């Protein structure tokens, strides 16, 4: 049987009804992955499926897991030579919950090294290629997770999102990318990049799949002090849903993205969505700068542990300590080194107050601004990415243009809000995504709104 026509929810229904067997399902996705991985490079490590069933809602179904999430006994590299041989002795809480509900790990998906990148090109194991056109980037940093879902190499995938790392690849591959409220999913076992911004997210074929998995893995965790409880009341959105559109942000997108976005607004308005234009948000122009200041500062602190003593490959102990540590840290890739250096500079005396503390103030102001907008709207609606996917290698000499592609995705991370990207169109054979940003802690409500929007865009879900 060909399972590419079905989303995860359909497949689980088929398994429960007896029209499909879990062993056959896992074998089909594993075989598809082994056939396509040389072309797409979605996985760093693939796991041959066990020939047995599992109890729980997922019934033994295997999904892709981003390679910065700890998996006991399975190599976890962060797509870096620094951790090339690292095999964790424990599971991340999200993996424990996945297994508790009958889920399995199909493979560890490729990514930008230590989740630092927006294109999927910064992996020590080579770039992930876009299944829609392999000459183009997938978007990052959860590049392999998005590509695996888009290419039918996995029924769903776990990713992580620090400034758009789930939503960007979802937009570029025509999949669903959901970033929950900060802390809604435990971060215990997630190898840290920027603690106050990042979290585990989902990449799926449909919004209902994202909701199904989110319910299984979300919630407070005693091992993560930043985790929170989420209300799972499945309230249906009102007949009329109000969306705030920030005009100043939409103006900065390319003509092709703008055309798809305007077309999507028409479809939404025809399906009981009310569009409220918001002229601007105070301080929004500083959001991207604030994000990179905070992210790089936290990365500098987090990655200081990779010194060949605590973490990282051991070197020649006969050298002096500076040489020893320098040799160990030479394993980092170019982008990671650049962000560590930037973060160290920003935290140094004289610059901490000038940049870091000001970035925190921008973050605080933005949080209040989004809170105010969401008091009068059910969600905020924006394009996910300001540009279409670009060809692999085209922007590597111009990293600033890649950083600028995050301009629409970083704000939910700064404010800790849930956000989701859904497919809204296509230009030149490449997907375009639209992003919905919801209220703090109202993840289920946002997913219900996104499901309505998905249907408005023509997303046909079987058996509904």
> Rounded mean pLDDT of 134-159?
98
* Catalytic residue numbers, as ranges: 66, 141, 165
Rounded percentage of the chain residues whose pLDDT exceeds 90: 88
Please give the C-alpha separations between residue 456 and each of 227, 238, 273, in angstroms, as whole numbers: 33, 15, 9
Among all chains, which residue has been given the structure tokens 């709104």? 449
CA 429 to chain centre: 23
CA 97 to chain centre: 19
The helix or strand, by DSSP H or E, that contains position 288, with its residue range, turns out to be helix 287-302
Q: How confident is the model at residue 50 (pLDDT cuts 50, 70, 90)?
A: confident
Q: How confident is the model at residue 461 (pLDDT cuts 50, 70, 90)?
A: very low
CB atoms within 10 A of CB 311: 15
pLDDT per residue as tens digits for the range 328-354: 999 999 999 999 999 999 999 889 999
> Which domains does the chain show, CATH number per domain?
8-239+379-456 (3.90.1300.10), 284-360 (no CATH)
The helix or strand, by DSSP H or E, that contains position 199, with its residue range, turns out to be strand 199-204
Cα–Cα dist 217/234, whole Å: 16
Q: Using an 8 Å Cβ cutoff, are 150 and 206 in contact?
A: no
Cα–Cα dist 441/167, whole Å: 18
pLDDT at 462: 41
- CA diameter of the chain: 72
pLDDT at 179: 98
**Adjacency order of strands within the sheet including 430-437:** 43-46, 104-109, 62-66, 157-161, 199-204, 176-179, 419-427, 430-437, 379-383, 241-246, 273-278
Q: How confident is the model at residue 233 (pLDDT cuts 50, 70, 90)?
A: confident
Enumerate the β-bridge partners of residue 242.
Answer: 274
Cα–Cα dist 12/23, whole Å: 12
Contacts by residues 247-253 (CB-CB < 8 Å, ≥ 24 positions apart) = 247/277, 247/278, 247/279, 247/280, 248/279, 248/280, 248/281, 248/284, 249/281, 249/284, 249/382, 249/407, 249/408, 250/382, 250/383, 252/386, 252/407, 253/383, 253/386, 253/387, 253/408
pLDDT at 252: 87
Q: Using an 8 Å Cβ cutoff, are 142 and 193 in contact?
A: no
Strand segments (E) across 1-142: 43-46, 62-66, 104-109
Residues 113-150 as b/e (b if ≥16 CB within 10 A, e otherwise) read bbbbbbbbbbbbbebbbbbbeeebbbbbbbbbbbbbbb
Among all chains, which residue has been given the structure tokens 């993205």? 257
DSSP code per residue over 371-400: HHHHHS-SEEEEES-SS---BTTTTTT-HH
Cα–Cα dist 57/61, whole Å: 9
- Strand 104-109 relative to strand 43-46, pairing: antiparallel
Whether the pLDDT of residue 100 is over 80: the answer is yes
Q: How confident is the model at residue 247 (pLDDT cuts 50, 70, 90)?
A: confident
């Amino acid at each position: 049987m060909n399972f590419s026509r079905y989303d995860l929810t359909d497949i689980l229904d088929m398994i429960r009804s007896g029209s499909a067997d879990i062993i056959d399902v896992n074998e089909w996705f594993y075989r598809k992955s082994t056939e396509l991985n040389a072309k797409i490079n979605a996985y760093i490590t693939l796991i041959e499926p066990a020939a047995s069933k599992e109890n729980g809602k997922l019934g033994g179904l295997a999904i892709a897991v981003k390679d910065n999430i700890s998996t006991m006994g399975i190599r976890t590299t962060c797509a870096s030579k620094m951790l090339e041989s690292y095999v964790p002795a424990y599971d991340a809480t999200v993996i424990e919950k996945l297994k508790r509900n009958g889920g399995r790990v199909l493979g560890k998906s490729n990514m930008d090294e230590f989740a630092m990148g927006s294109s999927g090109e910064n992996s020590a194991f080579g770039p992930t290629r876009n299944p829609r056109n392999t000459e183009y980037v997938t978007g990052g940093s959860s590049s392999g997770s998005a590509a695996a879902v888009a290419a039918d190499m996995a029924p769903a995938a776990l990713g992580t999102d620090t400034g758009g790392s789930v939503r960007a690849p979802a937009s570029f591959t025509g999949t669903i990318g959901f970033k929950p409220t900060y802390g809604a999913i435990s971060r215990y076992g997630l190898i840290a990049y920027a603690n106050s911004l990042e979290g585990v997210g989902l990449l799926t074929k449909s919004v209902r799949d994202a909701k199904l998995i989110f319910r299984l893995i979300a919630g407070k965790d005693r091992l993560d002090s930043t985790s929170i409880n989420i209300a799972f009341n499945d309230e249906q959105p009102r007949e009329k849903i109000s969306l705030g559109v920030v005009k100043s942000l939409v103006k900065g997108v390319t003509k092709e993205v703008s055309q798809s976005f305007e077309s999507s607004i028409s479809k939404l308005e025809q399906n009981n969505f009310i569009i409220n234009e918001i002229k601007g948000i105070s301080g929004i122009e500083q959001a991207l700068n604030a994000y990179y200041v905070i992210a790089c500062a936290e990365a500098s602190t987090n990655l200081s542990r990779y010194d060949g003593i605590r973490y990282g490959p051991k070197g020649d102990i006969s050298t002096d300590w500076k040489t020893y540590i320098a040799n160990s840290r030479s394993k980092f890739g170019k982008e990671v080194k650049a962000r560590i250096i930037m973060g160290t500079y920003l935290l140094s005396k004289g610059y901490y107050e000038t940049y870091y503390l000001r970035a925190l103030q921008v973050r605080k102001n933005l949080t209040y601004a989004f809170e105010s907008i969401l008091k009068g709207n059910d969600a905020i609606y924006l394009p996910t990415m300001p540009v279409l996917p670009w060809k692999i290698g085209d922007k590597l000499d111009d990293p600033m243009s890649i950083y600028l592609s995050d301009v629409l995705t970083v704000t939910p991370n700064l404010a800790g809000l849930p956000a989701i990207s859904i497919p809204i169109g296509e230009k030149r054979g490449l997907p375009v995504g639209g992003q919905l940003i919801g209220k703090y802690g109202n993840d289920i409500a946002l997913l219900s709104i996104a499901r309505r929007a998905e249907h408005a865009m023509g997303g046909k879900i079987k058996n509904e």
